[in-house]
């Protein structure tokens, strides 16, 4: 089985809030669900939001476009939810990446996706609360509305990963099988090699296990991660309580930063 996200920090700690002053050459990397949008019963329940659009526009101006959204969602869905406010986006956990100048870089779909898609669709039909999601380069089965199915869904994901060679990605009440390749940390690293991110300090904000790769990359490259929500073992160095706290912190960064 190929599984993503090994967290090296094993102890659970109470993390402090992040600093309100950041160096001028800071780059922000933002998860969407659980960070810029509350977790909803269905992924389709998340849509454009005026406050989010305003905050992102101000951040892009303040940080000279050194802002990217890095999410598990696919690129068209992110463009819709973000109301076209973001140029730089890492989609499907980094398997699809749109650079600040608009170039789109994407992996080819893994051939094992066809079998995984068929089996997960069949499982979704067996239980009303299960929700299948197809992202092109990955397929997912959400069990938020059927928590009693968690063990069976995870076991199915493990078996499919072993059989197909797809990467098993465990998230917040979701099992995902994705094409091998880049993760959120790799997306951050790639952005930092390009203008306008080149030479900046990365700050990654996210809530889920899928964001640990982003936290680890930010640490390695001289920045830090911010965990949103519940305390757990993490690579992040700071914490914000919820999405509202994220927006309040980001709004405090919307003014020009110090040199």
Say whether both 33 and 91 belong to one domain: yes
Any idea what DSSP says for residue 148?
G
Kindly indicate the confidence band of residue 75, based on its pLDDT and cuts at 50, 70 and 90: very high
Outline where DSSP puts E strands in the chain. 2-3, 26-30, 67-70, 88-91, 96-98, 104-106, 131-134, 138-142, 167-171, 174-178, 201-206, 224-228, 238-240
Structural domain includes residue 215: yes
Predicted confidence at residue 232, as pLDDT, reads 84
Tokens encoding 38 = 């509350």
Give a yes or no: residue 80 inside a domain: yes
pLDDT tens per residue, range 9-26: 434 468 999 998 999 899
End-of-domain residue from the set 178, 194, 211:
178
Instruction: Kindly state whether residues 23 and 100 are assigned to the same domain.
Output: yes
Two tokens, residue 28: 């922000």
- Asked if residue 126 belongs to a domain, the reply is yes
Asked if 31 is an active-site residue, the reply is: yes
Report whether pLDDT(242) > 50.
Answer: yes
Distance CA 191, CA 68 (A): 9
Domain CATH code at residue 209 = 3.40.50.1000
Catalytic residue of the set 14, 31, 79, 208: 31
| % residues pLDDT > 70 (the chain) | 93
Confidence (pLDDT) at 254:
58
Average pLDDT (136-158) is: 95
Q: What sign has the CA pseudo-torsion 190, 175, 163, 133?
A: negative
Task: Give the structural domain span for 159.
Answer: 113-178
Q: Do 158 and 66 belong to one domain?
A: no
Do 147 and 27 lie in a common domain?
Answer: no
User: Based on the domain organization, do 120 and 160 belong to the same domain?
Assistant: yes
- Torsion angle defined by CA atoms of residues 145, 6, 193 and 17, in that order, rounded to the nearest 10 degrees: 70
> Alpha-carbon torsion 183, 228, 63, 87, what sign?
positive
Q: Are 217 and 204 a contacting pair, CB within 8 Å?
A: yes
On average, the pLDDT of the chain sits at 92
Strand partners, 239: 227
Count structural domains, the chain: 2
Q: How far apart are CA 91 and CA 144, in angstroms?
A: 22
Note the pLDDT tens digit of each residue in 76-133: 999 999 999 999 999 999 999 999 999 999 999 999 999 999 999 999 999 989 999 9
Domain shared by 71 and 99, yes or no: yes
Same domain, 70 and 123: no
């Amino acid at each position: 089985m190929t599984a993503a996200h090994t967290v090296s920090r094993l102890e659970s700690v109470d993390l402090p809030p992040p600093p309100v002053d950041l160096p001028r050459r800071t780059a922000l990397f933002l998860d969407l669900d659980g960070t810029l949008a509350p977790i909803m019963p269905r992924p389709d329940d998340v849509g454009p939001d005026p406050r989010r659009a305003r905050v992102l526009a101000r951040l892009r101006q303040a940080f000279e476009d050194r802002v990217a959204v890095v999410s598990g969602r696919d690129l068209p869905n992110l463009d819709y939810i973000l109301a076209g406010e973001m140029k730089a986006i890492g989609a499907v956990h980094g398997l699809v990446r749109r650079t600040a100048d608009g170039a789109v870089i994407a992996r080819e779909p893994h051939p094992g996706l066809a079998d995984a898609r068929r089996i997960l669709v069949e499982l979704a039909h067996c239980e009303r609360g299960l929700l299948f999601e197809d992202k092109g380069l990955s397929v997912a089965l959400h069990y938020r509305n059927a928590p009693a199915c968690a063990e069976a869904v995870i076991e199915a994901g493990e078996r499919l990963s072993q059989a197909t060679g797809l990467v098993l990605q465990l998230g917040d009440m979701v099992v995902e099988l994705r094409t091998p390749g880049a993760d959120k940390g790799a997306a951050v690293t790639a952005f930092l090699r390009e203008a306008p991110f080149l030479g900046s300090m990365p700050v990654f904000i996210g809530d889920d296990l899928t964001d640990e790769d982003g936290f680890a990359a930010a640490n390695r490259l001289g920045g830090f991660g911010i965990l949103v929500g519940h305390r757990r073992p993490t690579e992040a160095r700071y914490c914000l309580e919820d999405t509202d706290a994220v927006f309040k912190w980001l709004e405090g960064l919307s003014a020009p930063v110090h040199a």
